[in-house]
Homo-oligomer: A and B are copies of this chain.
Amino acid sequence: MLNVYLSGEIHTDWREQITEGASDLPISFDGPVTDHGASDDCGAAILGAEENPFWHDHKGAKVNAIRTRMGIEQADVVVVRFGEKYKQWNAAFDAGYAAALGKSLIVLHAPEHRHALKEVDGAALAVAETPEQVVQILRYVLTGKLPA
């Protein structure tokens, strides 16, 4: 059983593409809460509202960290996806966290982010452009089979 954590961009269906493509493999997938609204508001919704937006965000970020830290620490492989929009600093943060723990890191991004992501790519064992390539890597790692 391989534990794979899918970190990063939450606005496209790349997680579904990977989990469906790898559905015949003995992999347990984990990842952050991908409901954007819930992820932003979880701290205040459970622990009480905050007037200052910094503390609103702070409470939420820490409640989410209970899930994300555990997910990364239990993973054998961490896949980090950088999308087209937003700063995505949390994705890069997760990549650094995973790298420092010695996790196998697979980075997934379009070629135009090559230069901006060179330090993250430099810490990775694979740099993919498509979810399908990630599936092919996981399949090869588990079965030794290459795509036909």
Contact = CB atoms under 8 A, between A and B. Distances in A.
A148 B128 CA distance: 36
A140 B69 contact: no
Nearest to A34: B144
Interface residues of A, number: 80
A54 B89 contact: no
Interface centre among A76, A86, A119, A142 (most CB of B within 10 A): A119
Interface of A: 2, 33-35, 38-39, 41-43, 45-47, 50-55, 57-70, 76-77, 82, 86-102, 104, 106, 113-128, 133, 136-137, 140-142, 144-147
CB-CB nearest 7 A-B residue pairs: A96-B96, A61-B122, A92-B92, A100-B100, A93-B96, A96-B97, A57-B118
